[in-house]
Amino acid sequence: MMMDIPVKPADVTFTDAQWKAIWATGKDVLVSAAAGSGKTKVLITRMIEKVLSEHNPIDVDELLVVTFTNAAAAEMRHRMAEALEEAIAVNPDSIHLRRQLSLLNKAQISTLHSFCLNVVRQYAYLIDIDPGFRIADSTEAALLRDDTIGEVLEDAYNADNPEAMYRLADSFTSDRNDQSIETLIDRLYDYSRVHPSPERWLRMIPMQYELDEEVTIDELDFIGPLKT
């Protein structure tokens, strides 16, 4: 059952929409806003209010909070600690509040990557992978990607029917090396990652070039956005 949202005090700087996002209960809440508009602050306040609630308080280690940056995760944990310490100062006899402060280090407040890393490592025995694995840093990842692109191009040149690869090389490379194609593949891969179905999106790209002879340039799907 959804609880009535408290009346917003006059000295509160949250907007009405932010205030509703903080206090809404009994249903899923989606908050969509531009960068720097206060989403993190709203989420932190929502977390704090749930832990400090007088009607139905929760334990801080029941929360799962994932962010995209370590800085945001650290800020959330720090703000939660400050709020708990302030609440304990007001109500020093509260066992619940003191327990929350001790549980804070166990709370799942981290980046999305860190949370997934912990889950995979904890259940590594179920998926047959070495629990001692680690996430490659950006330099290692770049080197692995370069090696993979090199292997893919080598396989393409050595294929039974390499004519298509030769046409691609003639169109996008110089006479010296294949660096232009490697850069193109690298960028195309990054673009594909923002789509929910990257492989399907990549397979759809060539289909845009399969046109009837009667089609004019003004009828192409991408011409409208280009003109605007």
Instruction: Answer whether 130's CB lies under 8 Å from 81's CB.
Output: no
Q: Report residue 67: phi and psi, to 5°.
A: -130, 180
Q: Specify burial of residue 47 (Cβ count, 10 A radius: 0-12, 13-18, 19+).
A: buried
Kindly tell me if the per-residue pLDDT of 3 is higher than 70.
no
Question: Do 27 and 119 sit in the same domain of this protein?
Answer: yes
Q: Which of 127, 148, 179 is the last residue of a domain?
A: 127
Asked, for residue 8, whether it belongs to a domain, the answer is no
State whether 115 and 23 are in the same domain.
Answer: yes
Same-domain check for residues 97 and 61: yes
Helix (H) or strand (E) holding 208: none
| Containing structural domain, residue 76 | 16-127
Are the beta carbons of 181 and 173 closer than 8 angstroms? Answer: yes
CATH number (domain holding residue 147): 1.10.274.50
What is the pTM for the complete model shown?
A: 0.59
89 confidence band (pLDDT: 50, 70, 90): very high
**Within-domain flag for 105:** yes
| 1 belongs to a structural domain | no
Q: Within this chain, do residues 21 and 106 fall inside the same structural domain, yes or no?
A: yes
C-beta of residue 39 within 8 angstroms of C-beta of residue 31: yes
Last residue of a domain, one of 127, 154, 189: 127
Do 97 and 43 belong together in one domain? yes
Instruction: For residue 62, tell me if it sits in a domain.
Output: yes
Q: DSSP H helical segments within the chain, as ranges?
A: 16-23, 39-52, 70-90, 95-103, 112-122, 124-127, 138-157, 163-172, 179-192, 198-207, 223-227
Do 153 and 101 fall into the same domain?
no
Question: CA-CA distances (angstroms) from residue 196 to 65, 136, 185, 190?
Answer: 22, 23, 19, 13
Q: Match 């169109």 to its residue by tokens.
A: 171
Number of domains in the chain: 2
pLDDT digits (tens, 9 = 90+) for 143-165: 999 999 999 989 988 888 888 88
